A and B are shown apart, each in its own frame.
Chain A
């Protein structure tokens, strides 16, 4: 996973290596445009290449700029953030439990509520989610997975609620009226 995460960051900061089809950030023609091309009919080709993937433009300083659909850039940025969060999780999990601090988990500090079995399951689902997000160019499913684990950690921090999980119904329990019934109850 370390290698994959590093690749994502590299692809955001640099022009993708030819032949590396991760995220399909490649040019269709392989052509690099000049600024003057944008004043001619070639700008249509430039825009079309940007629309379907990446278009390259070399400025007068020799620096290469790229244009790509904003949704692809957003997906790459989100993937980078998730990859960094994953690295923080890996880093935290590499420490003995008694040596871990919540700050080791970075933005996943809430994960300290998970025991080692749950952490291992979370890590595995996170890794699968990252791989799927790369393929799908979307972090939507990964976000849902992380959200579910976040909710789980919230409940684990509530001992009263946890005592009710898998417990039977007892004399302390009451049936819940529907909101309509509550609204229609006469005021006492």
Chain B
């Protein structure tokens, strides 16, 4: 591998979002099937993000029996989670793509655990609100 190698920071990954030619300069093109699998994983994360965003709207529109601050808080948490999930999806996709081009190990991530815990907490809160009438 020749040429400048950018630092392995998140900022370098963000710069890669907007410079596809920089990505192609790195390493060599992996088997197309690996790239397609990476793309499908990206799309799956994007669907997760869309589900969270849609859930945020659903809370605001259909959980009308709750107090306004609680409803607003739940909505905003879900919307922010969806936006975060979408941003993380592209960041992880580009880092995986770059790792495959360089022949490195795929990046590990704590995000799935954090998201699972957050969704669990929100779901538990929802059950308390809807089934037991907390905050109504």
Q: A and B bound?
A: no
